[in-house]
Amino acid sequence: MFYPEQAVACFRVKLYRQGAMFQEYFPFKNHGGEEGALVAAKRYWKEVRDSFPKLSRKQSAQVERRKSRSGVIGVTRVTQKRKGFEYDFWRATWTDRRCARRTRVFSINKYGETEARKKAEAARLKGLDDFPDETPNKSLQATAAVPASCD
């Protein structure tokens, strides 16, 4: 619950970097007012940003976000039912330079289980190879310190 009479005026800095959250509050009264708190918040934001640079899109695409049943990120075995028939295939998924989701599927009936999987893994790697390995400039921008309630 929020009680306005107990709220503390402050700035909050919150960043997510390499799987960790960095959050800090900068109360106005501890930093000599709003300007001092803003200066301290920006200083902290720059320290964290410089110590833990943002991952490039290529690096980010290789981060395991949940346990993959196939053991390969972005490659999945799929069974799909269409018009009363079941189709088994391996699907490779990635995003291209324009952030559009791309997929390629390889039929198990056509290629066999192991060959279809190998083709899906190769397609994903080829899709990721199209990425530049540097971090784009616009991803370095982050939200500046914003006023928050420091409970």
pLDDT(92) > 80 = yes
Q: Which of 28-32, 67-71, 137-141 has the highest mean pLDDT?
A: 28-32
CA-to-CA separations, 135 to 23, 82, 119, 128, 132, in angstroms, rounded: 23, 41, 28, 14, 8
Q: With 0.75 as the threshold, say if the pTM is over it.
A: no
Average pLDDT over residues 84-110: 88
Q: Which pLDDT tens digit goes with each residue over 33-76?
A: 889 999 999 999 888 888 877 766 666 666 666 666 677 788 98
User: Model confidence at 136, in pLDDT bands (50, 70, 90)?
Assistant: very low
Over the stretch 109-121, which tens digit does the pLDDT of each residue have? 999 999 999 999 9
| Residue 138: pLDDT band with limits 50, 70, 90 | very low
User: What strands, in cross-sheet order, belong to the sheet with 75-82?
Assistant: 75-82, 85-95, 101-107
Domain ranges across the chain: 4-54, 58-129
- CA dihedral over 47, 48, 52, 56, signed as positive or negative: negative
